[in-house]
Amino acid sequence: MLFGERLKTLREAAGLSQVSLARESGVSVGSVRGYEQGRGLPSFVNAVALAAALGVSCESFRGCKDVIAERRAAGQPAKPAGKKGK
């Protein structure tokens, strides 16, 4: 499972919207959306904040695949085609 998929599953299980998770964690809603869409991975600090807001340990994210590293290893761009970087 990819990090974004796991994050969304945990968020929905906690009954939180992306906005609520952002508010509870202190992570911007844009970042939460981006993580869920596979456009990036959180820093360690943000991962800890997200886990705390979800009421889970950081271990809940253990084993998540890093889609960006997989794309780079396959010689593909880190962001899918059609996505503009900031």
33-57 confidence digits (pLDDT tens): 999 998 888 999 999 999 999 999 9
- Least confident range of 18-22, 34-38, 40-44, 72-76: 72-76
Q: What is the largest CA-CA distance in the chain?
A: 38
- Domain borders along the chain are 3-73
Backbone angles phi, psi at 2, to 5 degrees: -80, 155
3-73: CATH, from 2.60.120.260, 3.40.50.1000, 1.10.260.40, 3.40.718.10:
1.10.260.40
Q: Is the pLDDT of residue 18 over 90?
A: yes
CA distance 74 to 6: 23
- Residue 68 confidence (pLDDT): 63
Query: Of 1-5, 62-66, 70-74, where does the model show the most confidence?
Result: 1-5
So what's the pLDDT on residue 37?
A: 92
How many helical (H) and strand (E) elements, i.e. helices and strands, does the chain have?
5, 0
pLDDT at 86: 45
